[in-house]
Homo-oligomer: A and B are copies of this chain.
Amino acid sequence: MAAGEVWLRELEAIGGPGDVVVRPGDLAAYGYDATPGYRGVPDAVVFVRSTEQVQEVVRLARRHRLPVIARGSGTNLSGGTVPVSGGIVVAFARMNRILEIDEANLTVTVEPGVLTAQIHQAVEERGLFYPPDPGSMAISTIGGNVAENAGGLRGLKYGVTGDYVMGLDAVLASGELVRTGGKNVKDVAGYDLTSLFVGSEGTLGIVTRVTLKLLPLPEYRRVAVATFGAVEAAARAVSRIIAARIVPATLEFLDRGTIGAVEDYAHVGLPTGVEAMLLMAQDGPQPVVDRDVERMAVLCREEGALDVQVAASPQEGDRLMAARRFALSALARRRPTTILEDATVPRSRLAEMVRAIQRAARRHEVEICTFGHAGDGNLHPTCLTDERDPAEMERVEAAFEEIFAAAVDLGGTITGEHGVGLSKRSYLGWKLGETGLGVLRAVKQALDPEGILNPGKVVPETTRRRQVVRSA
């Protein structure tokens, strides 16, 4: 038997029948994720069904010095699940049980392969609420959400995935299992390992079980939409809302290009030809929701909104919110390649950031539409391009480089909710500095000294030199 086949026999002994994929044609599907431009080829894929299997796979990988890449649905947008160095993809699609909904402690405990939307549905049937709602929630897994610390449309009021992870099981690079946190609202027993694993993209350990915090389901919800003739007016309305001490459940921004694309795609009756739109939602007890939505409508009008519509019914509200969720699909139809980015700034810098994005697009002659979470400053400049055109792709890269630099200069960050993965690595030093990168490397080295866990992700080897950008 060839040396290269030993590990494969071992893997087949670990995985159940039909759970190990090795045919080259089948492997190709696990060589990429939702991020354009990144491809790899794994040596094998194993669909795990238990924590013990994950431990055995990691021990095998360690013995044979093979990379191990955890994978949910592969919806991530930073190349976090691309097996750039080959190795074994640990696929969680079949380890997908909701283990427990604990109504007394307001927790749900799940396996990593459960779809986020399934968690929403299961807990909402009990009058409970899991707030994080990343754009991909219908098809993304909770394991992936935890690995990337995914955000969503409710971040301003409710926070992100990590704010709801109370405890987890993680398989370490040694194959050992560590169990962090639990169902305790307060727990300061040792360093916060839960938060260390959340967002670490499978580079420090592989999460095999998660206990999530739940809230009571808000009893009522209302949506309003406002259009503006200028981005600045929309940004001013956002500032006025926050200054009025309103924390809406959702406060989304769409620019002219995005509005047009969504309307073309979904025909939901959005007013095209306006420069900006704010989509606002509040949830909670009805009197409070009604008051907040009315106040937001007034503030938008005071800041010169062209039109403000409060949804007449929950159904109309759902339809408007769905329109926002179509944004990526709608934009993706326009050109062969869609690159959805994730530049984030403190919300007070929103207008400046939108202008910086527009400037970068003009300067580098690329088409960028912008939408995102205005309430939390998390914007998604989305480039419509064609990855088969190397000259255009160079301009795209130059534009995004300028956008990330602008975000950092505005006190922002290079990624708000998509993670570092492969695509943000060389920018990470702009945010963390060399000292911060040093801490990341030290932590990675401490937990995965042999570098078998999702190698090449998060922690960069080098930092891109910042270009001097000519003023606009």
Q: Within the complex, what minimum Cβ distance (angstroms) separates A70 from chain B? A: 16
B103 touches A184 (CB 8 A): no
Contacts of A196 in B (CB 8 A): 191-192, 195-196, 443
B417 touches A186 (CB 8 A): yes
Q: Mark A344-380, 1 if CB is under 8 A from B, else 0.
A: 1111100000000000000000000000010111100
Q: Mark A414-448, 1 if CB is under 8 A from B, else 0.
A: 11111110001000100111011111101101110
Q: Mark A198-225, 1 if CB is under 8 A from B, else 0.
A: 1110001000000000011100000000
Q: Within the complex, what minimum Cβ distance (angstroms) separates A291 from chain B? A: 8
Q: Mark A99-138, 1 if CB is under 8 A from B, else 0.
A: 0001111110000000000000000000110000000000
Q: Mark A143-170, 1 if CB is under 8 A from B, else 0.
A: 0000011010001100110110000000
B185 touches A243 (CB 8 A): no
Contacts of A413 in B (CB 8 A): 182, 184, 186-189
Tell me if A42 counts as interface (CB < 8 A to partner B): no
B185 touches A155 (CB 8 A): yes
Contacts of A103 in B (CB 8 A): 243
Tell me if A74 counts as interface (CB < 8 A to partner B): no
Closest to A163 in B: B163
Q: Indicate which residue in B200, B414, B433 contacts A191 across the interface (CB closer than 8 Å).
A: B200
Tell me if A470 counts as interface (CB < 8 A to partner B): no
B432 touches A439 (CB 8 A): no
Q: Indicate which residue in B185, B245, B459 contacts A156 across the interface (CB closer than 8 Å).
A: B185
A200 and B103 alpha carbons, distance in the complex (Å): 32
Q: Within the complex, what minimum Cβ distance (angstroms) separates A235 from chain B? A: 11
Tell me if A239 counts as interface (CB < 8 A to partner B): yes
Q: Within the complex, what minimum Cβ distance (angstroms) separates A130 from chain B? A: 14
Contact flag A440-B155 (CB < 8 Å), given A179-B433, A184-B412, A245-B127: no
Contacts of A247 in B (CB 8 A): 215-216
B104 touches A348 (CB 8 A): yes
A414 and B190 alpha carbons, distance in the complex (Å): 10
Tell me if A17 counts as interface (CB < 8 A to partner B): no
Contacts of A411 in B (CB 8 A): 182-184
Contacts of A419 in B (CB 8 A): 188
A346 touches B105 (CB 8 A): yes
Tell me if A266 counts as interface (CB < 8 A to partner B): no
Contacts of A239 in B (CB 8 A): 104
Tell me if A268 counts as interface (CB < 8 A to partner B): no
A149 and B51 alpha carbons, distance in the complex (Å): 30
Closest to A181 in B: B413
Tell me if A180 counts as interface (CB < 8 A to partner B): yes
A246 touches B176 (CB 8 A): no
A-B contact pairs, 9 of them (CB 8 A): A104-B347, A104-B348, A162-B192, A182-B346, A186-B376, A186-B416, A187-B344, A188-B416, A443-B446
| 5 closest cross-chain pairs (CB), A and B | A195-B195, A185-B376, A216-B245, A186-B416, A446-B446
